[in-house]
Structure 1
Amino acid sequence: MTDTATTSRPVLSVENLTTSFKTKDGWNAVIRNISLHVHAGETVAIVGESGSGKSVTALSTMRLLPAGRSRTEGRILLDGKDLLAATEAEMRSVRGGSVGMIFQEPMTSLNPVFTIGNQIAEALVLHRSLSWKEAEAETVRLMERVRIPAAKARLHEYPHKFSGGMRQRVVIAMALACRPKLLIADEPTTALDVTIQAEILHLLRELQREENMGVLFITHDMGVVAEIADRTVVMFRGDMIETGPTGQIFASPEAIYTKSLLASIPRLGTMGAASAPKRFPEVDASTGNAVDGREMSPVAQTASPILKVANLSVRFDLPHGRVHAVEDVSFDLHPGETLSLVGESGCGKSTTGRAIIRLISPTAGTIVIGGQDVTKAGTRELRTMRRMSQIIFQDPFASLNPRITVGSAIAEPILAHGLMGRRDAKTWVAELLEQVGLPAKMADRHPHEFSGGQRQRISIARALALNPKFIIADEAVSALDVTIKAQVSNLLLDLQEKHGLAYLFISHDMAVVERMSHRVAVMFLGEIVEIGPRAAIFDNPQHSYTRRLISAVPVPDPVRRGLRPEPLTEEIKSPVRPFEYVPPKRSYREVSPGHFVQVTTS
């Protein structure tokens, strides 16, 4: 924040903003009397859960809500000019000119049929009156500025050829192309892995300092807020319930909701001497105060694991090479145990999970579930195996059929396997919904009638329908708000203790992994580079990549801002190899009992 920020006129002033949407019952206000201001060089964070009104506030500011179906009242002043009184032609010059905006999902923000260079250059031609040749040269400079390697060579590539982190850099370049006075960033790092997130936040801070921009940063990640925000605005169900300097909000929150939001944050290093997973803190709804969750039952190591993976490899052929998605991966999973697979996008975590239950065909290796090799199983054997193993996907809305009720979705596998008649299945569905904390009467609703956290509970109920022995949870809580994430994680732990379930927990959220795991396996470029008991991995990480993952986790404490090491900025290496490539045979050394690290080779 600049020294003159408190005396100069704000870049953005929002005064008594109320936005309503038209419904069959009339106008319904979704945000009410929101007031905030952003000065040059200052970052103001708007925080809250999904549905709190954060994004509606941003879209109202940019006048991007549908005309006729929305109504915005109050004042939105950009350098003293009221945007609500501006014409649509004037707003077109504001959007992408005076104000840049970064959206949450870069792939949906980029047009798949135009090249990256064309999309960045378009804003330069429109707002800065450059020729296409001049705009192309400026585009290369912008791409280099956001540290996209080989920018000139990649100018004419399409969005699908860029990784998630690189696509987000492209969106940032587009937002900053016209040197805006204000940048609105709507959940710009929520979908990114922790190391890529650290790089993007570092990049935004650098660019903000260079241009002296004001930044309105919208997020539900309190660790990110502590890392970058000068001031914080807390929203709850459309109302602004607390605002102030970020350090003050974290040190002495006044609103009960703010207290509960901060209490629900998973923090690294809070496990103490626990040898087994611990439930997330229980938050008292009336006071917002939290009591640390109890330690779960330790795992009784049995002679026979429920899952045994040995030398698993998965490769995909491309026209000019081969993707080594999973390479020579081996591990066991015992009843009642949680083994977490962690790593960045593209490291092979999800491919490993899908290969285990034969949603993807393995290239090599063995997968033994309940004593039977899945890789050699026929159709009938696979049906039996899938009664023992289930999967929970990251996006519950995409994995639920929008045309059928959730009760029918949960009952579907029961009826398909012929385990019960329809009447008994309906009773079992009601019991399952109650087990995951939902009223049985909700069975008659459709997926769109539920929140994200409720839909994930429904997905868990469906996974439990066949009484499986183990469940693959593929980023099952990554997209959830912090309080909902804690609730669903606790639910998974309770169900594990009740039913003796084993979990293969796939995630890039290291703070959640620390609370949930008995053991942790770290994956990098398709290989396990380190595996061992949870405490050994977090307290004594041996591989450089494991240390990088842990150090990249945002610390939810503004006092410690700036104490973390500078993030690495190079893009992760590609897993695409020539067809003739033969992967080297890896060796591991045992650091302590059960803790193995890959021996690096030159």
Structure 2
Amino acid sequence: MKRAAEPVLSIDNLSVAFRHDAGWREVVSGVSLTLQAGETLAIVGESGSGKSVTSMAIMRLLNMRHARVSGQIRLNGVDLLTLSESAMRDIRGNAVAMIFQEPMTSLNPSFTVGDQIAEALMTHRRLSQRAAREETLRLLEKVRIPEAAKRYRDYPHHFSGGMRQRVMIAMALALRPKLLIADEPTTALDVTIQGQILDLIKTLQEEDGTAVLFITHDMGVVAEVADRTLVMYQGAMVETGTTSAIFAAPAADYTRTLIATVPQLGSMRGTAGPRRFTLPGQPVAEDIAPALTPRAPLLSVRHLSTRFSLHEGLFSRKTGAVHAVENISFDLLPGETLSLVGESGCGKSTTGRSLTRLVEPCAGQITFDGRDVLTLPPPALRQLRCAMQMIFQDPFASLNPRMTVLEALTEPYLQHRLGSKTAAREKAAELMVRTGLSPAMLNRYPHAFSGGQRQRICIARALMLDPKMIIADESVSALDVTVKAQIINLLLDLQHSLGLAYLFISHDMAVVERISHRVAVMLLGEIVEIGPRAVIFENPQHDYTRRLLASVPVPDPARRHFRRQAEVTELQSPVRPLGFETPARHYREVSAGHWVMQ
């Protein structure tokens, strides 16, 4: 009788507790799982369910002065909880590697990205400096970092969020570990890169028999990568089984809720305007705004360009420029949502920052509410920003950790002298209720909230100044599906009641389809296609738009072995030499309001 192969990872009755003022509080309770070579197990659940804590316990990265871990964690038959720290250091990287959720906090800001990857290769594989550099460049090219040889010496802050996540993936793959723990590895990535990274992980499994523990809140990703799925809620296992069985017949109410709130591409066919998500226990959602009345634009952008100079050498001589935004034009009506979509580095976020002059454009015209934004002096610009607010991608980074929520909400109101401290506090309490939070939370600090709650606080802060337009920069990308649905419903309700206009920047095409009136697709700083949401999703004309839509993960376990493309194409770079002149672009109107670059 053939003996079953020993699992790469075996966890038995894992429990984790953290020290609090009142004693110990258990955050993971009784988790057990096994993972075979070449298999992918997905752990899914909401923020705070214990997914990431479980992965940190496997890697022995919890601070044992404040954490208590019990149970067994066996890697290739060795109980990791019994090893010394020096033995554990040898296992990390060699036998097990981890892709962390927050690449900016995981990368050392004092070292170049190339040196950080090369260091792991020289330390664990004993490669020479030259060989480590060559292998690092190969890895950077494998995860599609453009012009890898030039970017080798760049620091983490020189990269976009998606680019930093690719660097983290390259670092994790460097030593070809037997177990790869991927903690939300594709959250910050746009759909085309996400699809390629998922294909890359599948290929790695086929070549090396790597076992993958995939932690995510994206059920579309789960369906495509996972052989088995484990659902967690409030630190405990809710159910586990094959992915196909869980999607076909979920046993737990919580699992059914997770699957029901997944935004699915194509679900908006036949609808005229944005539509709220239907959450469990709520009536079926209806269109929020079937049609917009033609009006004068609130925002008008004409031939906007933003470039960043590149300098090299001892005397910092200018050698070129990053053409981040190149000659784009669009309008935004009052009460309308225009979504900007495209790959990481295409210029979406730079466009949003250029509109508020957080970065200074080099050419073009921006007219907001009848005023020329680019000619305003600083006092007038500061006043204009009351009406043009921004919600940033990372709510934790955009909230001051030393300020209470009350101070964060009332500071802009008081700085602009819109009322007294009493009026500011009353308005803050009202907005907390409106965004689904309690006024009793006002005296807490940001670290006391979950990611979804922090994003609600950022929305409340943006509303404190009664804006006419909100620029939402990847405002729901890092949220799990149930919280994402709640935040989108909140944004749509606020738009309906307050008449807000949104410039919605996102790489999540299913969410864009749900929330948008119109969509603009960006590539290398240029808009290649713009038009009403229905025609962009149902009749895309540009090859790049079709590629974006084809890359969206579909929550169907039948796609487990699906490959998007056998060959990874080279990512183009927006870096241009001195004196470069962008060729004249021509657009064709396919239908009313639907324009495509030729």
**Structure 2 length-normalised TM:** 0.92
Q: Give the match for residue 531 of structure 1.
A: 530
| More divergent stretch after superposition (571-580 vs 319-328) | 571-580
For the residue of structure 2 that corresponds to 1:472, the secondary structure is strand
How far apart, CA to CA, are the structure 1 residues paired with 2:113 and 2:470? Answer: 40
Of 273, 295, 309, the residue aligned with 1:303 is: 295
Asked if 1 retains the 8 angstrom alpha-carbon contact of 2:306 and 2:323, the reply is yes
Q: Give the match for residue 325 of structure 2.
A: 326
Of 101, 105, 115, the residue aligned with 1:104 is: 101
- How far is the alpha carbon of 1:183 from its aligned partner? 1.6
Q: Give the match for residue 316 of structure 2.
A: none
CA separation of 1:490 and 1:173: change in aligned 2, threshold 3 A: closer
Of 278, 281, 285, the residue aligned with 2:278 is: 281
Q: Give the match for residue 451 of structure 2.
A: 452
Write out aligned runs for 1:179-258 (5 A): 179-258=176-255
State yes or no: 1:358 paired with 2:350: no
Q: Give the match for residue 315 of structure 2.
A: none
For the residue of structure 2 that corresponds to 1:572, the secondary structure is coil
How far apart, CA to CA, are the structure 2 residues paired with 1:377 and 1:91? Answer: 58
How far apart, CA to CA, are the structure 1 residues paired with 2:533 and 2:228? Answer: 36
Of 5, 9, 12, the residue aligned with 1:8 is: 5
Asked if 2 retains the 8 angstrom alpha-carbon contact of 1:301 and 1:334, the reply is no
How far apart, CA to CA, are the structure 2 residues paired with 1:21 and 1:281? Answer: 36
- How far is the alpha carbon of 1:438 from its aligned partner? 1.7
State yes or no: 1:315 paired with 2:314: no
CA separation of 1:171 and 1:393: change in aligned 2, threshold 3 A: closer
Q: Give the match for residue 314 of structure 2.
A: none
Asked if 2 retains the 8 angstrom alpha-carbon contact of 1:5 and 1:42, the reply is no
How far apart, CA to CA, are the structure 1 residues paired with 2:2 and 2:25? Answer: 36
For the residue of structure 2 that corresponds to 1:478, the secondary structure is coil
How far apart, CA to CA, are the structure 2 residues paired with 1:154 and 1:374? Answer: 34
| More divergent stretch after superposition (531-540 vs 422-431) | 422-431
How far apart, CA to CA, are the structure 1 residues paired with 2:127 and 2:372? Answer: 63
Asked if 2 retains the 8 angstrom alpha-carbon contact of 1:5 and 1:39, the reply is no
**Structure 1 length-normalised TM:** 0.92
For the residue of structure 2 that corresponds to 1:8, the secondary structure is coil
CA separation of 1:146 and 1:340: change in aligned 2, threshold 3 A: closer
CA separation of 1:161 and 1:462: change in aligned 2, threshold 3 A: closer
Per chain length, whose mean CA-contact separation is higher, i.e. which structure has more relative contact order (CA < 8 Å, sep 6+)? 2
How far apart, CA to CA, are the structure 2 residues paired with 1:420 and 1:530? Answer: 44
How far apart, CA to CA, are the structure 2 residues paired with 1:150 and 1:580? Answer: 20
Write out aligned runs for 1:389-538 (5 A): 389-538=388-537
CA separation of 1:150 and 1:411: change in aligned 2, threshold 3 A: closer
How far apart, CA to CA, are the structure 2 residues paired with 1:14 and 1:517? Answer: 44
Asked if 2 retains the 8 angstrom alpha-carbon contact of 1:357 and 1:389, the reply is yes
For the residue of structure 2 that corresponds to 1:283, the secondary structure is coil
Q: Give the match for residue 287 of structure 1.
A: none
- How far is the alpha carbon of 1:260 from its aligned partner? 0.7
Q: 2:69 corresponds to which letter in structure 1?
A: T
CA separation of 1:199 and 1:78: change in aligned 2, threshold 3 A: same
**Any stretches of 5+ residues in structure 1 without a counterpart?**
285-289
CA separation of 1:251 and 1:398: change in aligned 2, threshold 3 A: same
Q: 2:75 corresponds to which letter in structure 1?
A: L
Q: Give the match for residue 44 of structure 1.
A: 41
| More divergent stretch after superposition (44-53 vs 446-455) | 446-455
- How far is the alpha carbon of 1:496 from its aligned partner? 0.6
How far apart, CA to CA, are the structure 1 residues paired with 2:148 and 2:308? Answer: 27
Q: 2:196 corresponds to which letter in structure 1?
A: E
How far apart, CA to CA, are the structure 1 residues paired with 2:447 and 2:155? Answer: 33
**Any stretches of 5+ residues in structure 2 without a counterpart?**
312-318
How far apart, CA to CA, are the structure 2 residues paired with 1:235 and 1:526? Answer: 40
CA separation of 1:203 and 1:99: change in aligned 2, threshold 3 A: same
- How far is the alpha carbon of 1:512 from its aligned partner? 0.4
| More divergent stretch after superposition (528-537 vs 543-552) | 543-552
How far apart, CA to CA, are the structure 2 residues paired with 1:160 and 1:317? Answer: 16
Asked if 2 retains the 8 angstrom alpha-carbon contact of 1:17 and 1:32, the reply is yes
How far apart, CA to CA, are the structure 1 residues paired with 2:163 and 2:453? Answer: 32
Q: Give the match for residue 286 of structure 2.
A: 294
- How far is the alpha carbon of 1:459 from its aligned partner? 1.5
Q: Deviations over 1:372-429 (max 9, x none)?
A: 1111222343244223221111122222222232223222232223222222222222
State yes or no: 1:388 paired with 2:380: no
Write out aligned runs for 1:339-354 (5 A): 339-354=338-353
Q: How many residues align?
A: 591
CA separation of 1:73 and 1:113: change in aligned 2, threshold 3 A: same
Q: 1:205 corresponds to which letter in structure 2?
A: K
- How far is the alpha carbon of 1:561 from its aligned partner? 3.4
Q: 1:543 corresponds to which letter in structure 2?
A: H
How far apart, CA to CA, are the structure 1 residues paired with 2:364 and 2:137? Answer: 45
For the residue of structure 1 that corresponds to 2:48, the secondary structure is coil
CA separation of 1:487 and 1:6: change in aligned 2, threshold 3 A: farther
How far apart, CA to CA, are the structure 1 residues paired with 2:383 and 2:138? Answer: 57
How far apart, CA to CA, are the structure 2 residues paired with 1:464 and 1:160? Answer: 29
How far apart, CA to CA, are the structure 2 residues paired with 1:165 and 1:431? Answer: 36
- How far is the alpha carbon of 1:146 from its aligned partner? 5.6
How far apart, CA to CA, are the structure 2 residues paired with 1:146 and 1:502? Answer: 36
| More divergent stretch after superposition (461-470 vs 563-572) | 563-572
CA separation of 1:299 and 1:357: change in aligned 2, threshold 3 A: farther
How far apart, CA to CA, are the structure 1 residues paired with 2:168 and 2:374? Answer: 42
For the residue of structure 2 that corresponds to 1:444, the secondary structure is coil
For the residue of structure 2 that corresponds to 1:401, the secondary structure is coil
Write out aligned runs for 1:562-577 (5 A): 562-563=561-562, 565-566=564-565, 569-577=568-576
CA separation of 1:132 and 1:329: change in aligned 2, threshold 3 A: closer
| More divergent stretch after superposition (535-544 vs 93-102) | 93-102
State yes or no: 1:558 paired with 2:550: no
Q: Deviations over 1:467-523 (max 9, x none)?
A: 222211111111111111100100000011111111111111111000000000111
CA separation of 1:475 and 1:73: change in aligned 2, threshold 3 A: same
Asked if 1 retains the 8 angstrom alpha-carbon contact of 2:339 and 2:516, the reply is yes
